[in-house]
Amino acid sequence: MRFEGTLQSWNDERGFGFLAPDQGGDTIFVHIKSLPRGGGRPQPGQRFSFEVEPGPQGKKRARNVQVVRAARARPPRRRESPARWGTATLFVLLPFLVLCAVVAVLWRPPAWFPLVYVGASLATFVAYAIDKSAARNGSWRTRESSLHLLALAGGWPGALLAQQVLRHKSAKGEFRAVFWGTVVLNVAAFVFLCSPMARGLWPGAK
């Protein structure tokens, strides 16, 4: 027997949500694997038809879920173009390049140090691209915590580039707040590790 209901909530990072049946009663658990492929990211308020089966611990869950109609009419999608470089992006990247030059002259950090940022930035850009593709296809997403860890490890320049070029994670306020926190922490760690105070931490340092 099929039922109809409205998507009440959706956890994008974990890939599941809850449907509110039209006939009332408890909400129904729905996993992303039960949704039709290629339908894009489920939106709260979107209408679905579904069957119900018992899940773990006796809780009901939806299966064979189908879209009834879109939550709201959307205009035809335009081809996305890279976002303009924001003031905050330039405000961070340009001073950081100047800081790197000053640190290189004053303290002469290991020659491989810039390669850490290059490698981490490439890995982060790829992670953003994979996550955006997953969001479009309705498949498993990259955890936001993983993206933040990559940024903290030195991949934040690549994250900034991905946010601008791919237009991904560039408008989510909570994500951006944590992201800028990782930038501050990484730059502070960069200055400390390159300073004479941390010279003894490097292999072969006297």
* Same domain membership, residue 118 and residue 23: no
* Same domain membership, residue 185 and residue 135: yes
* Same domain membership, residue 179 and residue 137: yes
- Mean pLDDT of each 10-residue bin along the chain, 206 residues long: 88 88 87 81 87 83 81 53 57 88 90 92 96 84 93 94 86 88 95 85 59
pLDDT of residue 71: 46
First and final CA of the chain: distance in angstroms?
A: 75
DSSP 117-144: HHHHHHHHHHHHHHHHHHHHHT-PPPPH
Pick the closest to residue 31 from 11, 3, 59, 8 (CA basis): 11
* Same domain membership, residue 97 and residue 34: no
Whole-number Cα distances in Å, 79 to 37, 76, 141, 154 = 21, 10, 22, 31
CATH classification of the domain holding 38? 2.40.50.140
Residue 97 in domain: yes
* Same domain membership, residue 134 and residue 173: yes
* Same domain membership, residue 125 and residue 195: yes
Sign of CA dihedral 175, 176, 180, 186: positive
Segments forming the whole domain that contains residue 115: 87-201
* Gap between the Cα atoms of 12 and 125, Å rounded: 20
Residue 77 in domain: no
Q: What is the pTM assigned to this prediction? A: 0.57
Residue 78 in domain: no
* Gap between the Cα atoms of 179 and 170, Å rounded: 10
**How far from chain centre, in Å, is Cα 179?**
10
* Same domain membership, residue 64 and residue 115: no
* Same domain membership, residue 162 and residue 119: yes
Q: What is the number of structural domains in the chain? A: 2
Residue 121 in domain: yes
Residue 82 in domain: no
The DSSP bridge partners found for residue 28 are 19
* Same domain membership, residue 110 and residue 14: no
* Same domain membership, residue 163 and residue 100: yes
* Same domain membership, residue 148 and residue 108: yes
